[in-house]
């Protein structure tokens, strides 16, 4: 196998089909939004994918529309069931594991904190424990979130060695999962020859997301129904990015872990700091791309606490992995809204995803 080594600072890398062809992969969370996109791309690269997740939630959903189950060995498994996870992992004999299964919504974490902790902390521990003694596995990419940091509510892009924390149950559960992952890496898996890394990314947009309490899906639902979109916190700032940015980064990270296990650790994936934008700006661009839509602006006081400012420092991903953003925010929003428009007009969801992947692969880095 080619030694990928450490990337040069200005190298931009894309997933390598030669690396992935025939590679045995376990993907948890393959029925979700990001998991469906990753399953589609892994299939395109020629990997042999085993999926573990709960059945897709709600209608419509990308897993069903893009027929993701046809592209992998799909199993409905609750990661809170340690024995079921271990059994499926042993049968799959993966070389690489991507762990995306999670309770991934801030407001849902407030509504059901115990389930959020059970899924995100113990579910992660179950996946990691299933790798102990499994001789086939070489690398694990454990996906957490950009919200794992103790947010000081100031204009500062968080770095991988900053303090972890979390005001809300979702953020705290993901920060706790980071500690669990580091413990399994240091106590068990590094000695076993398994390179383990965490991937911190969030505020992901892209076609095929219909989750509740996410900005773009909420906008699409409202505007398709000719209703006004309520916005709670228009001035909140987030590191928005198209779904293919972190998905590409996860693939590249796995390649690097296999070639150079010493790069194991935590990585931020997001846009350039100057690309962080307010909710108001994202909504205005989304409405422009969609062509119409009413908005009901709030004053920032409605609902439970959410951080007002969040951005990530991505220098480590750029210098170590050669991962850099490709699509600027306005371009990402335009592509996302075009996906929903075309899907609503009858274009096949899988074809739309594959077209975006092809376009992303051929795009240079953004500035």
Count of C-beta atoms within a 10 Å radius of residue 320: 18
Going by C-alpha positions, the residue among 176, 196, 179 that lies closest to residue 103 is 176
Average pLDDT over residues 330-339: 97
Instruction: For 178-229, write each residue's pLDDT tens digit.
Output: 999 999 999 999 999 999 999 999 899 999 999 988 999 999 999 999 999 9
What pLDDT sits at residue 202?
A: 85
Average pLDDT over residues 335-349: 97
What pLDDT sits at residue 9?
A: 36
State phi, psi for 348 to the nearest 5 degrees: -65, 130
pLDDT beyond 60 at 315: yes
What pLDDT sits at residue 7?
A: 42
d(Cα 92, Cα 39) in Å, to the nearest integer?
15
């Amino acid at each position: 196998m080619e030694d990928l080594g450490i990337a040069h600072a200005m190298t931009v890398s894309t997933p390598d089909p030669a690396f992935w062809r025939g590679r045995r992969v376990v993907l948890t969370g393959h029925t979700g939004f990001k998991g469906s996109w990753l399953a589609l791309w892994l299939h395109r690269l020629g990997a042999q994918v085993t999926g573990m997740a709960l059945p897709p939630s709600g209608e419509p959903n990308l897993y069903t529309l893009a027929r993701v189950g046809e592209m992998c060995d799909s199993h409905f498994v609750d990661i809170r069931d340690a024995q079921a996870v271990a059994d499926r992992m042993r049968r799959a004999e993966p070389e690489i594991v991507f762990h995306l299964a999670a309770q991934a919504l801030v407001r849902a974490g407030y509504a059901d904190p115990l389930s959020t902790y059970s899924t995100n902390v113990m579910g992660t521990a179950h996946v990691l424990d299933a790798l102990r003694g499994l001789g086939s596995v070489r690398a694990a990419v454990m996906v957490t979130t950009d919200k794992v940091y103790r947010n000081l509510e100031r204009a500062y892009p968080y770095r991988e060695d900053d303090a972890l924390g979390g005001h809300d149950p979702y953020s705290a559960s993901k920060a706790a999962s980071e500690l669990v992952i580091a413990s399994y890496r240091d106590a068990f898996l590094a000695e076993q020859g398994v390179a383990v890394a965490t991937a911190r990314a969030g505020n992901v947009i892209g076609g095929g997301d219909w989750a509740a309490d996410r900005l773009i899906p909420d906008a699409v639902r409202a505007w398709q129904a000719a209703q006004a979109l309520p916005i709670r916190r228009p001035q909140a700032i987030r590191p928005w990015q198209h779904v293919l940015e972190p998905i590409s980064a996860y693939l590249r990270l796995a390649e690097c872990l296999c070639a150079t296990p010493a790069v194991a650790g935590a990585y931020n994936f997001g846009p350039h700091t100057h690309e962080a934008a307010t909710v108001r700006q994202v909504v205005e661009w989304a409405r422009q791309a969609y062509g119409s839509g009413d908005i009901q602006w709030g004053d920032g006081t409605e609902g439970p606490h959410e951080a007002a400012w969040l951005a990530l420092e991505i220098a480590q991903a750029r210098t170590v992995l050669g991962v850099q953003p490709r699509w600027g925010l306005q371009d990402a929003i335009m592509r996302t809204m075009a996906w929903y428009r075309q899907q609503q007009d009858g274009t096949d969801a899988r074809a739309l995803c594959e077209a975006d992947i092809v376009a992303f692969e051929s795009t240079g880095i953004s500035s």
